[in-house]
Structure 1
């Protein structure tokens, strides 16, 4: 199996720890979104809604009145609703695995690409056709696109009722597209597909160009390989040592709970979880 070109073998250290619990970049992003959501709730309660309009992304406002800051502020403007909780759950469930797989810096680049690139492309579309305009706020499409990135990394992972991730992604993408078509929300439809394309290309883009490259026609140089007996013995040793370590951690959890784990034990458990996802991917 060919791994996506962003795949990172190193899990990376968390940004910081809170009571022996690791906090990664995804967790920090969730904290920021929750903070801005609370601000929005109080702004709505005190009828201070003008800020909502000024900070949301509006193609006409940016093109005609050069309100460039809207390119930065719109993802953090949330309408008070229960949909925000679902949005954060999607980010928590899938964002962390994407961050773990591609690495912190590349994950951050992907996140901000999903913020800026669809907005800039929508401005270009609105400039070409002034009848098309749109208003955008919130981060639901950003986090849905992170789910698409997760699906590109682990398409065979089982999610709801044993359905594989790739089919869940196709179903939801089709539903979102049909809803936009029914409501004639052409700009939102364009934004949605741009975001999905960016997420998919960020994972598989280089693999596609490599596949089409004439260099693939060259005969690869074979490196000297170990004998099958040596490879089997080495692999068995690694698996045995790893299984024993994980068994000891699971036994500790059963006796003392998750809070008893050390930083290194949590990191080992996380690596084992990602390894299982990769194993499911190979099936």
Structure 2
């Protein structure tokens, strides 16, 4: 058992492993709730489990939400059904790795969180503003990472619409068609038993689309989140003991320069020859053959007007 925990810890602490961290948080919450449900059921305290999950679900009623404002975040890290989390995490992984490669881990986190929040806001608004749903507000609650995953999927599809996935029994298909199919499916299911949840997907999808379009025009919607993430990281970062020597300063300076050179923000705007070379490489070998730096240069070039 300790080996399993060590594996989880090792994966979570790896650098440049943001997508896996998001998935691990969802899995840990799911397994914790599953174990808690078994314990409470055997102890004939099922009502305690229901109360616990209610503290994580997003309620549709505004008055109830005011007592549980944290649920606008917790709901998109919480699942109860195995197929619900399995589908969401696979969906997130397929599209999330593209966002991570082309835009970096910070923007992946921003897409996930902003999409989840937008989906939650859409859910509450729909249930309280549309007459069709107003009679269902009382007792309606939502959980699951679908809206956040949709944000990442549509973001990736907006950024790389012609990127292809090889689907079983279907073959290669462009990701823009996959995203479009699931958007239409969510609309079609908007009058079913999970109507609010399916419409919340559209809030996440719209966020993913707008995030990339704004980014391509030079505006990063994730900047407020980056500030919060920096503050969070500084709170929990271990600070090494201070030792002032001339040699160590040189080492630190060198390491800092290397880190800066390796960061996505430091990638220079490519000239036309570089762009043509990258495009030729794509036509011959596909997007997968590009290095991370080439992908970042291609994205920089797309921002040039």
TM range (shorter): 0.5 to 0.7
Counterpart residue number, 1:213: none
Q: Distance in 2 between matches of 1:93 and 1:44?
A: 30
Which of 117, 135, 145 is residue 131 of structure 1 equivalent to? 135
Structure 1: which 5+ residue stretches go unaligned? Answer: 1-15, 211-225, 243-267
The counterpart of 2:22, out of the listed 23, 29, 37, is 29
Among candidates 181, 204, 214, match of residue 205 of structure 1? 214
Q: TM-score, normalised by structure 1?
A: 0.62
Alpha carbons 2:88, 2:146 under 8 Å: kept? yes
Q: Distance in 1 between matches of 2:107 and 2:95?
A: 15
**Relative contact order (C-alpha < 8 Å, sep 6+): which is higher?**
1
The structure-2 alpha-carbon separation of the partners of 1:56 and 1:235, relative to structure 1 and needing over 3 Å to count, comes to closer
Please tell me whether the aligned partners of residues 157 and 175 of structure 2 are also in contact (alpha carbons under 8 angstroms).
Answer: yes
Indicate the SS of the match to 1:163: strand
- The one of 146, 159, 162 equivalent to 1:153 is 159
Answer yes or no: is the 8 Å Cα contact 1:40–1:80 preserved in 2.
no
Contact preservation (8 Å) 2:123, 2:200: yes
> Which deviations, in whole Å up to 9, do the C-alpha atoms of 1:244-265 show, x marking residues without a partner?
xxxxxxxxxxxxxxxxxxxxxx
The residue aligned with 1:71 is 72
1:17 positional shift: 7.9
What do the CA deviations read for 1:62-96 (whole angstroms, capped 9, x no partner)?
54752212112111221131332232222222112
Describe how 1:216-227 pairs up with structure 2 within 5 A.
Answer: none
Q: Distance in 1 between matches of 2:174 and 2:65?
A: 45
1:98–1:208 Cα change, 3 Å: same
- What displacement does 1:61 show? 6.2
Deviation larger for 131-140 or 158-167: 131-140
- Post-superposition Cα deviations, 1:229-249, rounded to whole Å, max 9, x if no partner, equal xx59x987x99xx9xxxxxxx
Q: Is the contact made by 1:145 and 1:195 (CA closer than 8 Å) also made in structure 2?
A: yes
Structure 1 counterpart of 2:115: 114
Quote the Cα distance in structure 2 between the aligned partners of 1:22 and 1:113: 23
User: 1:41 aligns to what?
Assistant: 34
8 Å contact from structure 2 (residues 58, 72) kept in 1: yes
Give the superposition deviation at 1:168. Answer: 1.5
- Corresponding residue of 1:5: none
Aligned to 2:197: 188
CA contact (8 A) 1:17 1:23 kept: no
Seen in structure 2, the aligned counterparts of structure 1 residues 79 and 273 have a Cα distance that, compared at 3 Å, is: farther
Q: Separation in 1 of the partners of 2:161 and 2:66?
A: 43
Aligned residue pair count: 214
CA RMSD of aligned residues (A): 3.9
Mapped partners of 2:33, 2:179: distance in 1? 30
Unpaired segments of 5 or more residues in structure 2?
A: 1-8, 42-48, 220-270, 282-288
* Separation of aligned partners in 2, 1:116 and 1:73: 10
Matched, 1:169 2:175: no
Cα deviation code 1:90-122 (max 9, x no counterpart): 222211211222233333222221122232343
- What is the Cα deviation at residue 200 of structure 1? 0.5
